[in-house]
Amino acid sequence: MSYRYSTHSSLAFDPIENLFVEVRRLETRRSIWRYAKDTRRRQEERLSAARVGKRWLYFFVLYALLGGFFWGYLNLFMYFQIPRDYPKLTGRQSLLQLHPGLSRVPNPDVLTSLIQFRPREPLSYSKLIDAMLAFLYGYKKKRCAMMKDCVHGTGSDQIDMRRPCAFDLNAVGPCNLANTYGYTTASPCVALKMNRIYGWLPEPVEFATGVLVKCEGETEDDTRNMGTIHYYDMDHALTGQRRPKTTNGSFHSAFFPYLNQGCYHQPLVFLEFAGMRRNALIRVKCYLIAKNIPVSFERNEGIVRFEILAD
């Protein structure tokens, strides 16, 4: 007995179709395995992200606590160890050791002590005027009720020591913005000021109202070329004097001591170089005069040096 081959028979054998069936089975198995593997990998990624988040949270809390402890201990140290109203080291224990220094304004460039300008070129001295205005801004705006009028009063009451004197800018003569501080007329103005030392009191020399300051040339040629120096200070306002002083200026004792008062004004002495020689470098030195101020030209103690050149 023989059988015919029929494609419609259930016993028909098609190797290509069976091959595709086997491939589909393998793909199904691989998909199931890949899904299980991807699921496991996603779970591991979630666990890894959770671990990273926990670590970030741990270090955030750790450094926040460390910063809080540091800030707290620093505030405790500042509150109990360092006074807020006065320096901890005063008198001989301070760095200045009761030796006040002297400085000048304007000084727009800290790398040089030269004041150079051209009277006919405003741009050449605009920085100098800006520096002067910026420094004197506090004297114009810093007015409060606790300041006392030392012009019409004595200004030396020990009971009223906590009330500072107000420096009157009307006492500086022609050294003002209306006259461009003398730079347009080749008679420049320079302001001198002393360092503030907490609790320091001057011991004036005989017949002096405070700490005297005197300026002169480094050499005889400098003294001859710089012409006449006019000094303007608070003595003009206190005594009603109109003529400038030509021998020395004075930082009045009414402005001392400095006790970190609110609205404190440093006493100033304005210098006007009248009749200075043009196109000549003039070297100037100014020094303080008082019984308790040591002055050394070699160590630059109690003095200030600068140069002026009017082209």
Q: What is the pLDDT of residues 143-166, one digit of tens each?
A: 676 777 776 554 444 446 777 888
Report the percentage of the chain scoring pLDDT > 70: 73
- pLDDT above 90 (res 245): no
Average pLDDT, the chain: 80
Place of tokens 């017949």: 207
pLDDT of residue 130: 93
Closest CA to 228 of 242, 215, 213: 215
pLDDT of residue 11: 45
Q: Mean per-residue pLDDT for 280-308? A: 92
Strands (E), 179-221: 189-194, 210-217
- pLDDT above 60 (res 269): yes
pTM (2 d.p.): 0.71
Q: Domain residue spans in the chain?
A: 14-82, 91-310
CATH of domain 91-310: 2.60.40.1660
CB-based burial label for 65 (10 Å; 0-12, 13-18, 19+): exposed
The alpha helices in the chain, defined as continuous H runs, are 15-81, 122-141, 220-225, 234-239
